[in-house]
A and B are shown apart, each in its own frame.
Chain A
Amino acid sequence: MTDLAVQLPDDAPHAGPLPGVPRPDFQIVPRAGLPIVAVILAGLVVAIVANKLWPLVFLHVAFGAAWTIMDLFLGFVVGPVMRRLSVPARIELTTRLMPRMVLIMPTVVTVTLAAGWQLGQLMGTVNSSYFLHGWIVASYIVVGCMAIIALGLLAPANVAVLVELRKPRPNPLVIQKLMKRFIYSAGFTGTMQVAILVIMTRIRTG
């Protein structure tokens, strides 16, 4: 998973509030998005219960593509652009984008993996007798590595940056420290997405 947040310039003050930077009001988890997430997860449950090829392929491919594209685009395109923005512009973008990512990324990841597992059961590709089983196991390992980094480092940093920005006097050093952790994690998961693309296209072509 890759998200974005504020990275302060190297000459940022070492403590105290963000100097003269207005912060828009925002919700860390946008409540308006929760019904949409609920509908998507309900659709996932229906697809798993129905166990039909098309809904499972649709959910796995559509959400998997969204996951990969978001990771690569946010990590390697929007991230570098954001670093060149002024601090107020970065804060504006962060407080509008990152709360949405708090909902979007876990949903996209859950749907991709659950639909993918059910699809593998239906098609028999998760069976150890499948002729490309080694590639399937490789995908488990890559996704496992991404999950550990995303769950342990990236997502907590995402939430922590938002909580810090909601404080009356956000600490620039805290934000900078969390962002350093965040950017390294995002680079790692973005690179892993390239490996997922290689594995999935190899499996698809047989």
Chain B
Amino acid sequence: MSERALPPVTELGMASLALIVAGGIYLVSYLPRQVPLMPAVVLLAASVLLLAVNLFTLSRVKGFAWRRFFEVGKWALLAYVIVAGLIEFALVRDGMGGGPLLVVTLSLLVYAVHVPVLTAFTVAQYE
């Protein structure tokens, strides 16, 4: 098995997920009290940054198996969009709104994009 030099997509992806998980735990830990949003916003921004870095560095890999990547990624994206939609539905149903809902929605967006990227990358790197 020949090892190609690939960017640390999995490591960055897990760090990105850890940041939004931490932000989510911070927000829900204080319910129903209002909490300063800034820590959660900072964690989300860092997570989005890692997602952007991940996509950028991956896009620069020469000879990457993009066909396989998108073949797996599109179905994984569909699955995780459904899961994220269910979570969003439950939160809206419970009356979450305003800033916390915006932060959580954007976090779910990162989750719904980054997890399929990790799955598709793991598969495509061995093509």
Contacts and interface: CB of A to CB of B under 8 A. Distances in A.
A151 B82 contact: no
Given A15-B1, A117-B90, A174 B29 contact: no
A173 B17 contact: no
Contact of B94 (A15, A121, A151, A171): A121
Interface in A106-121: 106, 110, 113-114, 117-118, 121
B87 interface: yes
Contacts of B1: 14-15, 171, 173-174, 177
A159 B122 contact: yes
A98 to B, nearest CB: 14
B119 A156 contact: yes
A152 B28 contact: no
Contacts of B31: 126-128
A153 interface: yes
A53 interface: no
A141 B32 CA distance: 19
Interface of A is mostly: helix
A140 interface: yes
A45 B86 contact: yes
Contacts of A152: 10, 13-14, 17, 115, 118
Interface in B1-48: 1, 10, 13-14, 17-18, 21-22, 24-25, 28-33
A159 B22 CA distance: 27
A15 B86 CA distance: 43
Interface in A73-125: 106, 110, 113-114, 117-118, 121
A179 interface: no
B60 to A, nearest CB: 21
Interface of A: 14-15, 29, 41, 44-45, 48-49, 51, 106, 110, 113-114, 117-118, 121, 126-128, 133, 137, 140-141, 144, 147-149, 151-153, 155-157, 159-160, 163-164, 171, 173-174, 177-178
B49 interface: no
A128 B118 contact: no
B93 A159 contact: no
A57 B119 CA distance: 32
A153 B14 CA distance: 8
23 contacts: A41-B82, A45-B86, A49-B93, A106-B79, A110-B86, A114-B86, A126-B31, A127-B32, A128-B29, A128-B30, A137-B25, A137-B29, A144-B22, A147-B21, A148-B21, A152-B118, A153-B10, A156-B123, A159-B119, A163-B72, A171-B126, A173-B1, A174-B126
A161 to B, nearest CB: 9
